[in-house]
Amino acid sequence: MKKILTIALSLFSLVALAQEKIAVTESDYSNSSVDMADLMRSNGKIYIVVGIIVIIFIGIVAYLIYTDRKLSRIEKSISA
Amino acid sequence: MRQSWWKILAIALLLYTFTAGLLWDVPRLPILNETIRALYFHVTMWFGMLVALLISMIYSIRYLRSNNLKDDDVAIEFANVAILFGMLGIFTGMLWAKFAWGDYWSGDPKQNAAAIALLMYFAYLILRGSLTDTQQRGRISAIYNIFAFAIYIPLVYILPRMTDSLHPGNGGNPGFNSYDTDATLKMVFYPAIIGWILFGTWIATVRIRMRRVERTLEDRMLNS
């Protein structure tokens, strides 16, 4: 009982400490007072950046797959 | 192809991270602005490092019990991946800090702790490099690795939270409250964590297999 009470109280104290902070709310998504990359989005240019990142990632993954396969071949050849 | 489903999952989760992470709605918060998206990339690096170090430590214990160099291979290569994630975490953090906190390095408790943690694991690599006997290297570095992990956890995840830090999460565990993230952020954040962990595991397994092939070839040279 004492243990449960201690755990409950310590959890409560963590929550109480966290009260000093400001929670993220729905209104944080709709305000227009904070600058975001809205212009970039309206131009459509952000998609180009995303595309570039995805191409680079696919390239790296293709290289990793190639290395993985090559290693599998070597493993097969030395076990034979 | 039979055992590669998790590699495909890693690619899918990271593709989702890059697209949804850059395009989806995020809270419009002052100072942070769009840099809040770094949550999906900078913070996930540390989750990747933590999991890789945990696996490395487990295999160090296994090595001490088994004396099988195959366990030592896993320990060193997961430590290597952890160090890679840690370095990427430090550098991405410095860039983010320059624009969110005003300086690349503010001597923040968590920044300093992360730097010390990296130095600790550099020492692990140097320790390994300085021993030539494989069994001796395995044993001594395994013990070092276990102690390093035991220090790493309080150093990076507990001590910085007990003092004032620029990082979120002081005065408790950020996992217990909803003040730094919300449901929309977590929709990308959690898959990103899993994606990066799986991707790091993939890189580690390729390098572990490389080590084993090398050892087999060396043994053959010695025996022939």
Residue A40: C-alpha distances to residues A47, B18, B40, B135, B188 (Å): 9, 17, 20, 57, 21
- Judge whether B11 is closer than 8 Å to chain A, CB to CB: yes
Structure confidence at residue A8 (pLDDT): 74
Interchain proximity B213–A78, CB inside 8 Å: yes
Spell out the domain ranges in chain B: 5-223
Q: Which of B15, B23, B177 sits opposite A57 (nearest CB)?
A: B15
Interchain proximity B28–A34, CB inside 8 Å: yes
More confident residue, B24 or A37: B24
The size of the A-B interface in CB pairs under 8 A is 92
Spell out the domain ranges in chain A: 37-80
- Judge whether B158 is closer than 8 Å to chain A, CB to CB: no
Instruction: Evaluate the CA torsion angle B87, B89, B95, B101 in order and state its sign.
Output: negative
Model confidence pTM above 0.80: yes
Interchain proximity B213–A31, CB inside 8 Å: no
Structure confidence at residue A4 (pLDDT): 76
Residue type at B108 in one-letter notation: D
Q: Which of A22, A65, A78 sits opposite B216 (nearest CB)?
A: A78
Q: Which of B22, B203, B216 sits opposite A46 (nearest CB)?
A: B22
CB B161 within 8 A of CB B169: yes
- Judge whether B177 is closer than 8 Å to chain A, CB to CB: yes
Q: What is chain A's Cα-based Rg?
A: 26
Over pLDDT 90: what percentage of chain A? 18
Residue of chain B whose alpha carbon sits nearest to that of A47: B23
Q: What is chain B's Cα-based Rg?
A: 19
pLDDT in tens, chain B (224 residues): 568 899 999 999 999 999 999 888 888 888 888 888 889 999 999 999 999 999 999 999 999 999 999 999 999 999 999 999 999 999 999 999 988 888 999 999 999 999 999 999 999 999 999 999 999 999 999 999 999 999 999 999 988 888 888 888 766 656 555 567 788 888 999 999 999 999 999 999 999 999 999 999 988 888 87
Interchain proximity B23–A50, CB inside 8 Å: yes
Distance CA B201, CA B77 (A): 9
Structure confidence at residue A20 (pLDDT): 59
For residue A30, list chain B residues with Cβ-Cβ distance below 8 A. Answer: 28
Which class does domain B5-223 fall in?
mainly alpha
**Which of A70, A64, A76, A68 has the alpha carbon at shortest distance from B216?**
A76
- Cα of B130 to nearest chain A Cα, Å: 28
